[in-house]
Amino acid sequence: WVLVGTQDQLLSRALNRGYAMSRFEWPVHFGLLNQDCHWIIDEVQLMGPGLWTTSQLDWMRRKRFGSLMPCRTTWMSATVGSAFLETTDRRRDGLADVSTLPAAFLEKDSNLEIRLGAIRAVTWFSPTRNGPSLPKQIAEDVGGKHQHGTLSLVVCNTVETAHEVFQALAEHHPKILLTSRFRRQDREQHEKRLLDFETGRQKQGGKPIPDDPGLICVSTQVVEAGVDISAHRLWSELPPWPSVIQRLGRLNRDGRDQDARAWFWTTPTEGRGKHERIGPYETADVARSKKLLDALCPRSTDGTFAQAIEQLTRMQTREVAAALQPKPTPMPRALDVHGLFSSEPDVHGGFTDISAFVRGSDPDADVAVFWREWPHDTPPRGDDLDGPDVDLCEECCPVAFYRLRDSLKARQAFAWLWNDETEEWERVRPDDLRPGMAVMLHREVGGYSAQVGWTGEKADILSVVPPAGRGRMLRDDARTETGHWSRLDVHLSDAREKAQDICDAIGLRDRDGQVDPLRKAVVEAAALHDLGKAHPQWQKALPAVSALPGGPWAKCPRVLAVDMTSNDGEIRNAVCALRSDAVALGEKRQKRGRAEFVRLRWAVGGRLSRVELDGLRSVNGVRWAGHIPFRPGLRH
């Protein structure tokens, strides 16, 4: 497998506190990511404390909590030094030395000479003191210098500045906005437009596309990594030096546009202390970057950019080295990670906050937000939660938790968090929001635009969202519902054989008459893992089990339920048309509020799709239709 993810999602899982997921699966992801893996850490200049965490986790896997199978790490960067590999723990255990990519490897790149020959003229953008606001002046300059058939790139240090520049650009300009504050589906649409334009330009040999207005992309740091584009014009807010190099790497990236130019602007710093921040960056880092850029600008017009960087490094070796070294930050020690093996709530009812090891004290630490709809003040409960399950990858928008907090306070609104134990959505007060949470908002709370992403504005409301559905259930037993009946003894025997196959595949074998204790533990655990299903209470809860001879059973079909008010004949025909092998189960009389109705149930081999369920719900006399989870009332 090749698994690609962000440091928030992967590092939190590697620390046994996976963000935006059920805590009951934390140890599963923790185990999978710390065994038999090769971690490749890219764009390390953007990681902050997460970089030191990767270094410490690598040490723990190799020396402290030695992994069963090798789990190694490769760090990739053209701009950051290797000081983060010299922690006290790594030095003590002889892991401070680093092996680097041999130069001969780079010489195999046939395009390297062309790329190294790229010219990137760099200068400062000087705003007018008494003119419009700085974002408006930047937008005017971009609009005036943008050339048809080319890409103009504007990179801002904060989402707020990017929004202001984007909104200030005239509407006749073809423009897109890229930030981290989008739902995946919307951000991918914007990225596709950018990459489609780049593909068209490449087909022209890197030259402007004829009869095309071109494209202006306004972005934040997200464009520094993972987006392979080659802009003709670049405007950038001044960031720390590693990010300067990364952003300039998106200008004339392919080396075929020798008229490329870049302008940098500085954020006013009046009244800021040396330890304060400019957006996500510390003022001192930005000040050091300004001195180096002052020295680079005149050199960038006399030759290639590679030559200019080489001269700058030779003339100001110490300053460049200092600018490239990662800052020391809090990092996990062995005792910290050992404590994270416990996934139970602490005495305050919360969980260990690992954000210091993932993003540090970053004020932009995120929560995941998604929008749903329901008719009353509070989300429905039980079977009234008939919306689709939450798809965190597609639906969620990352939002700085303090911005969501302030937005909810301003309109006296609430977020909702799924409680695994009570199986319902619980109200979360704004002050109780924490990084890593995945929370639901009612659609009318607003705050999101498909074009701009998270805005926090009440007027920005999504036109269509699904109804509220369930979160992850503690007492659901979804893996029991396989679509067929399977006896417990057969299932346990199958599991034992599969465990043996897996142990053989990874080299856990008995040798020379000696029993391998790990192999024995794995195989015996698999052979006994479902033994609790023999409990009479669990067996009685299985659908239609009383009609079956034999048992006890380990697996059962899925259950389709339809709440009807009339026309049961038409409903039964509709179900049979969708699943001819559906087996009718007993009817149940239900009461919800003052309403009484009959629930029809079927055992079905395959789960109905969203389209099929919508069609069934449209049948005359159907009040609700959907799959109901198997709830034996106790964990097996």
Please state, in angstroms and rounded to a whole number, the distance separating the CA atoms of residues 527 and 242.
53
Could you tell me if 72 and 38 are in contact, meaning their C-beta atoms sit under 8 angstroms apart?
Answer: yes
Nearest Cα to Cα of residue 167 among 193, 198, 133: 133
Q: Quick one: pLDDT at residue 379?
A: 92
Q: Quick one: pLDDT at residue 475?
A: 45
Which residues partner with 591 through β-bridges? 596
Could you tell me if 232 and 152 are in contact, meaning their C-beta atoms sit under 8 angstroms apart?
Answer: yes
Stretches where the chain sits below pLDDT 50 are: 473-475
Torsion angle, CA of 376/381/384/390, rounded to 10 degrees? 100
Please state, in angstroms and rounded to a whole number, the distance separating the CA atoms of residues 107 and 180.
35
Q: Quick one: pLDDT at residue 93?
A: 92
Q: Quick one: pLDDT at residue 298?
A: 94
Could you tell me if 522 and 588 are in contact, meaning their C-beta atoms sit under 8 angstroms apart?
Answer: no
Mind listing the pLDDT tens digit for each residue in 275-286? 567 778 888 899
Could you tell me if 636 and 488 are in contact, meaning their C-beta atoms sit under 8 angstroms apart?
Answer: no
Residue with tokens 């930050």: 329
Q: Quick one: pLDDT at residue 281?
A: 86
Pull the structure tokens for residue 436: 């890593």
Q: Quick one: pLDDT at residue 111?
A: 74
DSSP 360-390: TT-TT-EEEEEEEB-SSSS---GGG--BPPP
Q: Quick one: pLDDT at residue 483?
A: 66
Nearest Cα to Cα of residue 213 among 200, 222, 223: 200
- Give kind and range of the element (H or E) at residue 187: helix 184-203
Could you tell me if 628 and 476 are in contact, meaning their C-beta atoms sit under 8 angstroms apart?
Answer: no
Could you tell me if 53 and 11 are in contact, meaning their C-beta atoms sit under 8 angstroms apart?
Answer: yes
Pull the structure tokens for residue 344: 């139970």
Q: Quick one: pLDDT at residue 274?
A: 53
Please state, in angstroms and rounded to a whole number, the distance separating the CA atoms of residues 39 and 204.
37
Please state, in angstroms and rounded to a whole number, the distance separating the CA atoms of residues 253 and 207.
13
Q: Quick one: pLDDT at residue 479?
A: 64
Q: Quick one: pLDDT at residue 8?
A: 87
Q: At what angle do helices 317-324 and 305-315 cross, to 10 degrees?
A: 110
Pull the structure tokens for residue 583: 């087996």
620 Cβ contact partners less than 8 Å away, ≥ 6 residues apart: 566, 567, 570
Which residues partner with 234 through β-bridges? 153, 262
Q: What is the 3-state secondary structure (H, E, C) of 429-464?
A: CHHHCCCCCEEEEEHHHCCEECCCEECCCCCCCCCC
